[in-house]
Structure formats: C-alpha cells, structure tokens
Amino acid sequence: MVKGIRISAGRFLALVVLGLLEIVGQGSCWEAIAADQFTDGLITCDIQKGPCSREVAGVTVTLDILPKPVKAMEDLIFQVTVSGAKPVRPAHIDLTMPGMNMGPNRVELRRVKVNGYEGQGVIVRCPSGRRTWKAIVTLPETGKVEFVFDVIY
C-alpha cells in the first residue's frame, strides 16, 4: 500500500487484470467501436432504478446490484434471487461487455437465504468510454440468463 492510498483487494485485482489484458492485446477496449453500434436495443435491465428479472427453464432469476447508483471501479454487492426452483449449487455471475472480449470477471455467489445469493465484485472501466455491461447469471443444472445494463463512470 502506498502511504495514504487505500484500495480494496477486489478493485486492485480488477485493475491488474484489465492492465494485463491490455498488454497482451486481449482486452479489446482500446479498439472498441462506438457504443451505439453494439448496444442499441440491447439494454434489458435498468439496474440504476432497481432489480431486474428474467426467466430460464421455468425459473425466475432476479438480479440487483448495490449500492446505487451502480458505478464502475467500485466495490459492488451482486444479489440474485431465484424463484420456481431451488438451485442445487450456488449460482455465479460472469461480467462482460456486449461485443467485446473483456477477459474473465466472475462473481462467486454464496447462499444468504433459501433462494437468495450474494457476492462481491467490481465492474471495470473500459478506456473506450463504453458503459454497457452484461451480467450472465448461471444456475448450475438449470441454465443461464443475461442482464444487459449501463453503469456510471
């Protein structure tokens, strides 16, 4: 730690991963085309206003991200609620950007109530300025749902 500067382990790891991906040419942020070409009509969730729900295999999956407003480069709490079935194993979330390889950014979720899961993560800031992100929630043995939303820089 540099004197006077405090950074969470999650934020530090996100910064290191993004930097390494840029160095090896896998974090396509620098080559991003204007957000409009990839994100027009893709937004499925206004996460800034509250939780969003989607269905997969007869199961309703609800995603919420706290605190609000949801900002990049902040420690965030990801909450997933499942109704219609009890998952056998905890769910997880993979964060990425539509139309762009961002490298791995997984939020491991732990059970906090019967059908509720929670985990911490960081949404990194893309140097291109794009703000649209995708959270892919995976329920083992059930399926995946995608939530596409904008974050604030």
Distances (CA, A) of 81 to 4, 42, 60, 97, 120: 39, 23, 8, 23, 15
pTM recorded for the entire structure: 0.75
Q: How far apart, in whole angstroms, are the C-alpha atoms of residue 83 and residue 87?
A: 9
User: pLDDT (tens digit, 0 to 9) for every residue of the chain, 153 residues total?
Assistant: 445 556 666 666 655 655 554 444 444 443 333 444 555 578 999 999 999 999 999 999 999 999 999 999 999 999 999 998 777 788 899 999 998 888 899 999 999 998 899 999 999 998 888 899 999 999 998 999 999 999 998
First to last CA, the chain: 24
Tokens of 107: 């939020």
Confirm if 80 and 61 have CB atoms less than 8 A apart: yes
Domains of the chain: 9-150 (2.60.40.1930)
